[in-house]
């Protein structure tokens, strides 16, 4: 993925210099002119330069003479996802992302990503993967390869595809290998930080040690999942329900091969002939309002299901998001083998 700084042009640059950068950007040819502190001043395209030249501006002149002073932009942490979708559907393909000081902190390209979700993502990657031994004796489970890349890299890339660029990875067992492999995320144009568990903290306990989330929403996911979940739809549904926590659930159907009787005081009041019941299991992916994380005990063992129970006890809203797409928990050898097969047929 292109480094966003390739789209930035210092304010004192000449039109000739701008032309060279636009040529390098090829089909992504748009520049955002910034001052010495990277604050946005305007945008510049081939069309702007062409109009300037027609009007007699020389290529040796500085670009400030021909820039568009009020370009569209996205504010970092923008909660109004509908506004971002409107830009995308209106064919605003490449947009700068500004912080509260109007400094350009990113440039997003809807040719390369599908959305830009205002979410911090936490990936839980500290488990030992004991059921996958001997594969995990010297390699942490998140780094076991499915196809040509590790399980966790499939998750990272899928989340980044929806514009999530602030990541936290909770590590413990052989965590040094994970940190060495992914680094700070710069090669993927994301910001990646690590949370080390000095002791086992369950499936969400490590989140209590993070005090500087960028956004008001946190997505928590296990590192050993393979899914084609539409994270934008998940987020929109979460906002629509005004939930404090949403959990992705996996539907399972149970077919009863006999008639099932409904009784009351020994009397048959109804029966269903060979009914099918649908149950929903925990898919290990959660969207959480940052304020709901206040219910986590500090630096103590706590599971995500414990948080769900606590929120329900406190009268908070916990909702289910039934997944209609693909989902696989790679916990056992047969799951790992299935993942290799499924990857050949399913688009992630």
Q: List the domain boundaries for the chain.
A: 4-109, 120-342
The pLDDT value recorded for residue 348 is 67
Of the candidates 158, 189, 311, 295, which has an alpha carbon nearest to the alpha carbon of residue 243? 311
The pLDDT value recorded for residue 4 is 87
121 strand-pairing partners: 167, 219
According to CATH, the topology of domain 4-109 is CBS-domain (3.10.580)
| Residue 146 Cα distances to 26, 46, 298, 335, angstroms | 33, 43, 35, 11
SS3 184: coil
Q: How many CB atoms lie within 10 A of CB 173?
A: 18
Q: Where are the alpha helices (DSSP H) in the chain?
A: 15-25, 46-54, 81-89, 151-161, 175-182, 231-241, 304-313, 333-342
Contact (Cβ atoms closer than 8 angstroms) between residue 4 and residue 189:
yes
Q: Which regions of the chain are under pLDDT 50?
A: none
Of the candidates 244, 249, 205, which has an alpha carbon nearest to the alpha carbon of residue 227? 249
Contact (Cβ atoms closer than 8 angstroms) between residue 190 and residue 276:
no
The pLDDT value recorded for residue 1 is 62
C-alpha–C-alpha distance, residues 188 and 153, integer Å = 11
The pTM for the full model equals 0.87
C-alpha–C-alpha distance, residues 291 and 317, integer Å = 12
Contact (Cβ atoms closer than 8 angstroms) between residue 162 and residue 143:
no
CATH class of 120-342: alpha beta
DSSP 274: S
């Amino acid at each position: 993925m292109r480094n966003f700084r390739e789209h930035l042009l210092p304010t004192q640059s000449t039109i000739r210099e701008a032309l060279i950068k636009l040529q390098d950007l090829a089909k992504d040819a748009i520049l955002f002119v910034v001052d010495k502190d990277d604050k946005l001043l305007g945008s510049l395209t081939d069309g702007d330069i062409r109009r300037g030249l027609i009007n007699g501006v020389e290529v040796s002149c500085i670009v400030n003479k021909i820039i568009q002073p009020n370009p569209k932009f996205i504010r970092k942490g923008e909660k109004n996802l509908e506004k971002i979708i409107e830009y995308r559907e209106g064919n605003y393909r490449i947009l700068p992302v500004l912080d509260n000081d109007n400094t350009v902190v990113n440039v997003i390209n809807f040719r390369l990503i599908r959305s830009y979700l205002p979410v911090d993502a936490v990936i839980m990657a500290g488990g030992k993967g004991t059921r996958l031994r001997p594969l995990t004796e010297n390699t942490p489970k998140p780094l076991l390869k499915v196809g040509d890349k590790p399980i966790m890299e499939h998750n990272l890339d899928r989340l980044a595809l929806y514009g999530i660029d602030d990541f936290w990875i909770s590590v413990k067992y052989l965590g040094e290998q994970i940190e060495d492999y992914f680094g700070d995320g710069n090669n993927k144009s994301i910001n990646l930080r690590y949370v080390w568990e000095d002791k086992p903290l369950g499936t969400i306990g490590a989140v209590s040690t993070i005090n500087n989330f960028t956004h008001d929403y946190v997505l928590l996911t296990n590192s050993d999942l393979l899914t084609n979940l539409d994270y934008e739809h998940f987020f929109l549904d979460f906002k629509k329900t005004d939930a404090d926590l949403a959990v992705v659930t996996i539907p399972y159907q149970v077919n009863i091969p006999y008639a099932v009787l409904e009784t009351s005081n020994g009397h048959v009041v109804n029966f269903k002939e060979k009914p099918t019941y649908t149950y929903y299991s925990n898919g290990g992916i959660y969207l959480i309002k940052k304020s709901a994380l206040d219910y986590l005990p500090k630096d103590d063992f706590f599971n995500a299901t414990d948080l769900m129970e606590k929120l329900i006890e406190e009268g908070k809203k916990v909702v289910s998001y039934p997944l209609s797409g693909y989902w696989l928990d790679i916990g056992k050898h047969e799951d790992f083998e299935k993942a290799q097969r499924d990857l050949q047929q399913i688009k992630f």
